[in-house]
Amino acid sequence: MAMTALRDTHSKTMGYILWIFGFMGSHRFYYGKPKTGTLWFFSLGLLGVGWLVDLFLIPGMDEAADKRFTAGRYDFNAAWILLTFLGFLGVHRFYLGKWASGVVWLLTGGLFGLGVLYDYWTLNTQVSEVNCV
């Protein structure tokens, strides 16, 4: 029985960089854990305790994300960097080929910030979906 190699969709390096801001939940959103990412955001990483524990959990979160999401033409790291720094301008949506919503994000400041929050919850799935096409 031949084993297929797991394609790396997420980066431990990126996870640890985002962990630095982990009290805001950014690394958890990146690894596809929006519920706990939101909890970390509103509780400052469970008052810092969860943030410290995550230092040791990142390798497992990375492996789980690699299994869960689909690698392909579009890079998860690039999409996350674009969302994080230019999300209100919709640049991550342009990158994914979603031109109509990209223009809407550009003209409305990411649908007044709510669209950017939505994208934090769903970006991994969005990238996986366009990678399957």
Burial of 3 (0-12, 13-18, 19+ CB in 10 A): exposed
Domain ranges of the chain: 12-68, 76-132
What local confidence, expressed as pLDDT, does residue 7 receive? 80
Task: Output the pTM of the full model.
Answer: 0.87
Sign of CA dihedral 30, 81, 51, 53: positive
What local confidence, expressed as pLDDT, does residue 23 receive? 74
What local confidence, expressed as pLDDT, does residue 5 receive? 54
pLDDT per residue rounded down to tens, the chain (133 residues): 444 456 889 999 999 999 997 778 999 999 999 999 999 989 999 999 999 999 999 999 999 999 999 999 999 999 999 999 999 999 999 999 999 999 999 999 999 999 999 999 999 999 999 999 8
What local confidence, expressed as pLDDT, does residue 1 receive? 47
What local confidence, expressed as pLDDT, does residue 24 receive? 83
